[in-house]
A and B are shown apart, each in its own frame.
Chain A
Amino acid sequence: MKPFAYVRATSVAEAARLLGAGSAAMAGGTDLLGLMKGGIAAPARVVDLTGIDGLRGWSRERGAGLRIGALTPLVDLETSDQLARHLPIVRAALADTATLQLRNAGTVGGNLLQRNRCWYFRDEAIPCWLKGGTRCFASEGENEHHAVIGTARGCNRVAPSDLAPALIAHDARVTLVGARGTRSIALADLYTDPALHSRDEHTIKRGEILTEVHVPEAGLQRRGTYLKAMERKTWSFAVVSVAAAARVRDGKLRNPRIVLGGVAPVPWRVEAAEAEIDGHPFSDELARRAADALLADAAPLAKNGYKVPLAKELVRRALAAIAAA
């Protein structure tokens, strides 16, 4: 690990000012530490955000949706029965996220902004495209964990977060605060596609801090579920995960969302797939059609073709679970 300066910010404004070039923001540090020890990140300055007040905890105001502070430890969300009543998908998504130790240290903001787990990206000796190199080593290499869809250019990484698909399925937005002001974007738009030639994984800008997640009232009206396939029973990133949510009435799923993790460089959503089921009497056949539509453009690599039937099956099950609940 390279030597670095450490500063503990006490306000968002101070942190924003400190987060210039060569600086890295740290909340729980569970991802940053691994990146630094692995030689992937070498910030000259680490700006610790944990001294900032007011970014912890969550609140629900009738008519105004649900707000979750970015510094809230994952374990607080997971263990809150009250939150589980308002937004049960969070507990479902966190149940198999990392280990209890990591959920204790890790925060909501950090989870949404974590970097991908591609084993070529995480090897400091591999000059892959995402790290400024010329090509993806996985495309012709050991790619059983890599993306099957949405990889038009350069990078076959997959979105690793469990929380991101779950929150996107409920139309979550995030607040980003920087020296030049505050903006609110859809959580889905926090993730950026290699097809856009961007060698970033997130659209957050230098000097910006993710301060809050907001789930609007409409999102809270949906019933949601999260399913995750791993290579062992727990303590693993998803091979494939699916978050699904919809308003359910009279055997129909309305305004549904289906978001996949582990299959694409970003949390994967296709509106046409959701339209397949929106407002129609739910059936297994319909669920299968939605799953097919969601993965219609899949172009698996040599070793990850299995993810396509696996993702379709999880989508089918998730939709059936919502419809039956």
Chain B
Amino acid sequence: MNERPLRVVIAKAGLDGHDRGAKVIARALRDAGMEVIYTGLFQAPEQIVQTAVQEDADGIGLSILSGAHMTLFPLVVEQLRAQEAGDIVFFGGGTIPPEDAKRLKDLGVREIFTPGAPLQTIVDFVTRECGKRRTPEPAA
């Protein structure tokens, strides 16, 4: 079971067409040996979580550069709860001011990467956090 490579959904939500970052991250994760599903543009939060659940993904990375992050990230968090998929590692990136990033992390987004974040940092983060999902802590 643990032999299967990590699987990550890279998503674009809302009306934001800036897909450079999402595509670069998708390729970097793929080059690091993961299976990557890129959703394409203009996905609703419901669809993104559905895709992740159906594909049994370990993580969701959401990219937003339109300023709608304080609306769309919480909607995905809500959907993860509604679809009982809270164990999927949810992270994101984009043009997100530091104080918004902090609020999003308080809401349950695992990490927010801003422009200039090294690819290796993101790959390491996904490897580590999604890896933990595969090998849950032994029950006490």
Do A and B interact with each other, yes or no? no
Interface residues of A (CB under 8 A from B): none
Interface residues of B (CB under 8 A from A): none
